[in-house]
Chains A and B, each alone.
Chain A
């Protein structure tokens, strides 16, 4: 313990803390511009100068370690003078265009100039950079830059991107991407929040409002399952921008591009404003009363004619807990059926099933900071920084803090680039890799050193006996030495973590991958907390808990969407199966064969275009509710703006509909609903470990006719089918594309930017090709977000939850 005195106060500090850290912890103000909690000390701005007794020079507190017996002064006439001079030197070339600068009112330089004195410098210099106008979303005005380097360091040290740097010398220095090109990065916008002045800003917000016109409300991000806290800045009932506030929420102020720029999906052109009923093949606007009477009447008729089990419903991983709970009650009580499911069936359900088979527990929430401090972190075929960007940052943080980051991944993702060891695996073969690890561990006898279960151990030994390093190397394409090295490293590590994502929009990992991973961890004596598989979307986890899944003998998603004719009526709430779920053609066939398709959504989705009745729902910011993130943490989502058109919250629609069906659910308002939800019995289970052998085979491997495998997934700037509504995100990427390796491009005669036809055993799509060295030979990667490309017509779903890549062939000149 270190003891020092700051401004006459005796304070205690831990080893490794700087003077600034101690001062901040004790609410002592020291001005600073270049310091950032997340970054290494830089000592560039010289504003955090302090006087230390016994030292002749003033010391930069952000980079001076606190020492025992130090006597520090943070506010003396000499310091005031020094700070004033520093500010004056910053103002030499800072243009005083505060009246038009968007940062005015929340600008650190403005505040400090006001506090310490000079309004104009005694010196004069002018920088004549042209403001950069071509990059999407992030606005750069180099003339205003004070060269503190926070954006550059956040981008590299914290985000691991390194898209920008300081280039040039003297007055010509500016923050720029390499060769002053247009910005081509993740567009996370962390640099915008880091900038203390107005040199970096969000383009959608540019010149839209001044800081004092805005009202700030905190909400939870509607995209992925991390559940970041967004600070929404609202002016006159319209959200103008989103910020991350340092230290707030599970994200501690970090945001990704989706959270920061994607909020404008609520202002998308395709928003529904009134209920629609299809009459004579055309959708006509009707009143709520008419629409709900119609729906209730049709549902009752179908129920009487075919029984309640002819009706099914699909819940949404993006609506609130209350909405999903109401849907479950509506279906079970007002309709009387158990045909109920969400998109989790195609992803997260497999994870939970796998965890239950092995660890014996029914839920396995992740911990967002779990990677930090582990000796070895293994990431299996998952681009976590794209699907769960803020969770992904923790892997980079772990790496910086000395963990070994082992990434098993065919694509050159951000994690692969930052990995301690990147094992470029053949797509879809990670189960074989994990089984190989299991065999390696068994051969090394690790399981004998720890007291673990023996249940299923023999079957496990039997099932993995063929996965010798040599065989694994053949199957996965990883060199044998690399495999054994990684295996040794992971198995001998003191503490370890295995992470991946499993989602409806990804098609290379399934239940056997989860089983194999759990087997490996159990063998090493690790509990379920070492297996980190986050749920996909903002409320996937919550919708599961609310019982939006068959609890008894009801039909699940496969039984409703992939079995044409199985149900007569389908109620789809906030989901677009035609875009996000595999085998779109079969889903379309099933949907077209329905007597009644009710779609309740915020927008005219692809599925809604087939519907008989469309009910407009209020979006995330337009209703109150709760999201439960992948940690199982319920977080309140407030109503921030007025609902669009006639739309109302999903749970209200269902409540009203239940009344018209002659079955009052009794839940009148949000509070009673929330009380009911908090009264639900918690799903707990005690751990009971047993090994579940994992079988690996490629259901549809590449062959002579279909030589390439197609992998679907999420990209950094989009999430499911929702984010494409956002104009800002679409500004970065709005067109569907397929990534192809340079080798394959040469082999099949594909040009970068040219259109190709991809043919699978089911269908073919016409899509733009992007040649990218991120992709290995023999693989195509295609994002699923864009409805017009209909890439999910190529893929297929397998009810057993096994991994299923799609083998395709390319026809470049179709």
Chain B
């Protein structure tokens, strides 16, 4: 141990340096937020709680039950149940997402040919039971009304509609181009 080290130890130089930094911060603006009181707005495209897009024309979900979201989901947390309706149309009886298993990759949003599923900016949904985080079709539609609504269509257009050719699929690649009901043009 050299003399220099001994002096640094005896006079607590490191601690003084640290405390000096602490002291200097007393006079700056705080960077943290007082979270429950002060909420931070989500950035565009934030992947929060799931929602099923409500079709303003019919009042029901836009989802047609193609199941591509469930097919692409890496954590297999989506289940879609369909059946034949009275006019031989396809009816989505159930759409379930187990939020606790979701990894928020948003591949479902990307895969959906109709823009029928969204991840809302809402992120405050901690709860005490698993059931509370098991989303049924009704709850997902409710999420849309509550956390997206009118905003939602803008969200799709500005975030999920690729503006740059770079993000579009390669030329000649077959892909399904669905008709998006009410919004999401292009």
Taking Cβ atoms with an 8 Å cutoff, the residues of A that contact B are 96, 98-100, 104-105, 113-114, 117-120, 131, 133, 206-210, 212-213
Residues of B at under 8 Å CB distance from A?
Answer: 64-68, 70-71, 80, 82-84, 88, 90-91, 113-114, 172-178
Q: Output the least CB separation between A81 and chain B (Å).
A: 12
**Contact of A100 with B65 at beta-carbon distance under 8 Å, contacts A131-B88, A207-B90, A210-B71 already known:** yes
A133 vs B64: C-alpha distance when bound (angstroms)? 20
Give the nearest-CB partner of A111 in chain B. B174
CB distance from B93 to the nearest CB of A (A): 10
**Other contacts beyond A114-B174, A117-B172, A213-B80: 11, CB < 8 A:** A96-B177, A99-B66, A100-B65, A100-B90, A113-B174, A119-B173, A206-B88, A207-B84, A209-B67, A210-B71, A212-B67
B179 to chain A, nearest CB (A): 9
Task: Enumerate chain B residues within 8 angstroms of A208, measured Cβ to Cβ.
Answer: 82-83
Are A99 and B71 within 8 A (Cβ)?
Answer: no
Are A118 and B66 in contact, with the CB atoms below 8 A?
A: no
CA distance A99 to B82 in the complex (A): 12
Which of chain A's residues have a CB closer than 8 A to the CB of B90? Answer: 100, 207
Distance between A233 CB and nearest chain B CB, rounded to angstroms: 14
Known A-B contacts A131-B88, A133-B88, A207-B90; A213 and B67 likewise in contact (beta carbons under 8 Å): yes
Q: Is the CB of A212 within 8 A of B71?
A: yes
Determine if A99 and B91 form an interchain contact, defined as CB atoms under 8 angstroms apart.
no
Q: Check B88 against A99 for contact (C-beta < 8 Å).
A: no
Contacts of A117 in B (CB 8 A): 172-174
Contact A213 B68 (CB under 8 A): no
Partner of A207, one of B71, B91, B172, B178: B91
Instruction: Name B's interface SS.
Output: loop
A interface secondary structure, majority: loop
From the candidates B114, B172, B174, name the one contacting A99 in the complex (CB within 8 A): B114
Partner of B176, one of A119, A131, A207: A119
Check if B66 sits within 8 Å of A98, measured CB to CB.
Answer: yes
* Nearest-Cβ distance from residue B109 to partner chain A, whole angstroms: 15
List 13 interface pairs A-B (beta carbons < 8 Å), by A numbering.
Answer: A96-B177, A98-B66, A98-B176, A99-B64, A104-B66, A114-B174, A117-B173, A119-B173, A207-B65, A207-B82, A209-B82, A210-B67, A210-B70
Least distance between A724 CB and chain B CB atoms (Å): 24
A133 to chain B, nearest CB (A): 5
- Residues of chain A within 8 A (CB-CB) of B114 are 99
Which 6 A-B pairs have CB atoms at the shortest separation, nearest pair first? A99-B66, A119-B174, A210-B67, A100-B90, A207-B90, A212-B71
Chain A residue numbers with a CB within 8 Å of B66 are 98-100, 104, 210
Closest chain A residue, CB of each to CB of B176: A98
Nearest chain-A residue to B66 (Cβ)? A99
Neighbouring B residues of A104 by C-beta, 8 Å = 66
Closest A residue to B91 using CB positions:
A207
Nearest residue (CB) in B for A206 is B84
Complex Cα gap A96–B64 (Å): 14
Kindly state the separation between the CA atoms of A118 and B177 in the bound complex, as whole angstroms.
Answer: 12
**CA distance in complex: A208, B114 (Å):** 20
CA distance A207 to B84 in the complex (A): 6
What residue in chain A is nearest B70 (Cβ atoms)?
Answer: A213
Q: Which residue of A lies closest to B67 (CB)?
A: A210
Cβ of B88: which chain A residues have Cβ within 8 Å of it? 131, 133, 206
Distance between Cα atoms of A213 and B65 in the complex (Å): 12
The complex places the Cα of A96 from the Cα of B175 at a distance, in Å, of 11
CB B168 to nearest CB in A, in angstroms, measures 13
For B68, the chain A residues whose CB sits under 8 A away are 99
In the complex, what residues of A have CB within 8 A of residue B91's CB?
207
Residues of B within 8 A of A105 (CB): 71
> Who on chain B is nearest to A113 by CB?
B174
Complex: A120 Cα to B64 Cα, angstroms: 21
B113 contact set on A, CB distance < 8 A: 99
Q: Are A118 and B174 in contact, CB atoms less than 8 angstroms apart?
A: yes
CB-defined contacts of B173 to chain A, threshold 8 Å: 117, 119
CB distance from A122 to the nearest CB of B (A): 13
Identify the closest chain A residue to B92 (Cβ).
Answer: A207
Q: Which of B65, B83, B88, B91 has the most CB of A within 10 A?
A: B88
Instruction: Report the bound CA distance from A425 to B21 in whole Å.
Output: 111
Residues of B within 8 A of A100 (CB): 64-66, 90
- Closest chain B CB from A77 CB (angstroms): 13
Chain B minimum-CB-distance residue to A132 = B88
Residue on A with the closest CB to B85?
Answer: A207
Chain B residues, CB < 8 A from A206: 84, 88
B65 cross-chain contacts in A, Cβ below 8 A? 99-100, 207
CB distance from B14 to the nearest CB of A (A): 60
- Chain A residues, Cβ within 8 Å of B64: 99-100
In angstroms, Cα B65 to Cα A208, docked, is 10
